[in-house]
Amino acid sequence: MVIALVILLILSSLGLIAAVLLQSGRSAGLSGAITGAGETMFGKKKGLDELFAKLTAILAGVFLLSSLGLGMLLK
């Protein structure tokens, strides 16, 4: 159980880092570099930013719950 939570924690942390970095900031960010491919898959750039925002919220929740669960199991 602990190993599964550690793996989930690592995957969610890496996914959270990627999702935050791919969001556009004031100056297009890294998502400006992939808009060509992103627009063909997800539509306009605004849709891609909304997708990354939802993905960030989901991954943050998974990270929070897995870290709390791991902390409770190891205590």
Question: Is 5 contained in some domain?
Answer: no
Report yes or no on 21 lying in a domain.
no
Total structural domains in the chain? 1
For residue 65, is it within any domain?
A: yes
**For every residue of 56-68, which 3-state class applies, written as one string?**
HHHHHHHHHHHHH
Q: Token pair for residue 11?
A: 């995957």
Answer whether residue 10 is part of any domain.
Answer: no
pLDDT in tens, the chain (75 residues): 999 999 999 999 999 999 999 887 755 555 555 555 555 555 556 778 889 999 999 999 999 999 999 999 998
Q: Are 56 and 19 in contact (CB under 8 A)?
A: yes
* Residues above pLDDT 70, as percent of the chain: 72
Pair 7, 37: CB distance under 8 Å? no
Which structural domain, as residue segments, surrounds residue 65? 44-75
49 inside domain:
yes
Residue 61 lies in a domain: yes
Q: How far apart are CA 14 and CA 70, in angstroms?
A: 17
Domain assignment present for residue 16? The answer is no
State the average pLDDT for the chain. 82
Model pLDDT for residues 57-71, shown as the tens digit of each residue: 999 999 999 999 999
Answer for the pair 31, 45: CB distance below 8 angstroms, yes or no: yes
* Domain-embedded: residue 62: yes
